[in-house]
Amino acid sequence: MIWRIFLAILAFGVIAQQALVTWGSLDPSPSFQGWALFIGGLLVLIESIAALFTSANAAAEQVRLKSAEKVVLASLKTISDSTGIDLLCLGGSVFLAKKTGLRQREFLHRELRYRLSDVPQPSDVEWVKGKGVVGSAWKDKHTVHKDLSAIADRYGASELNEASFLRLRADTRGGFTREEFHSIIGKYAEVLAVLIWNSAQTSVIGVYAIDVPMTAVHEKSGTLLNEHPIHEIASSCASLLGDVLQKK
């Protein structure tokens, strides 16, 4: 932050002048000693205030995430009760839109992942508009469901070279790089992604994704999440998440 850089410059100036006095290269003066004490005290005061604000913000963020986690768990439990699928098989991930770099490039940051089972583990994917089910929902601004079971069965255990990968249909590649494709494609039978809007319903602030892994045993695996009641549950959850996670 800019104010931290300014403080660092001030601190360096005080330390440098004090060192010159100590070495005898600069004559000490009452005014200098007074300013040194004043600036030193000011630095300590400002850092203390900043630490308090940082601590308060961190505590507030933890409260938000805990509240969001409860909302996600409630939605997964409701889906489990409605469909009969084991709760251990369901996963929920909350992504919020962020910007980075001088050009303010947009991406989705995973703020929360809830899964009672240890597998599958989260994938190392840079989520941008148009990439995967999550990125497609964000780009097109509507709910997206995709049955990935056939693609997972065909390519989950294979290792395509770059040329073979580029020959796949664009819809099959899903906007992923070859490395991302192989890291994620064998994990999930289906994914449902719904938008998270701000409380005023004027802008999209993120995406809520629910997944069923390939290891799940259910007669409707692949299409389980693609039913209107499930979409309604997911959308209601996303609406609550928007209220909980929106920065005040």
Q: Are 180 and 235 members of one domain?
A: yes
Specify whether the CB–CB gap between 218 and 212 falls below 8 A.
yes
- Whether the model clears a pTM of 0.95, i.e. scores above it, the answer is no
Q: Is residue 190 part of a domain?
A: yes
Query: Containing domain of residue 232, as a range?
Result: 64-245
Any domain includes 124 = yes
CB 194 within 8 A of CB 241: no
- Residue 51: its pLDDT value, please? 61
Are 10 and 69 part of one and the same domain? no
List, in order, residues 6 or more apart from 198 with CB less than 8 Å away: 204, 205, 242, 246
Query: Quick one: 71 and 45 in the same domain?
Result: no
Residue 229 lies in a domain: yes
| Full 3-state SS string of 141-157 | CCCEEEECHHHHHHHCC
Q: Are residues 46 and 84 in the same domain?
A: no
pLDDT in the model for residue 60: 75
**Lowest mean pLDDT across 59-63, 78-82, 93-97, 200-204:** 59-63
In a domain, 57, yes or no: no
pLDDT of residue 36: 56
- Find where tokens 């294979």 sit: 158
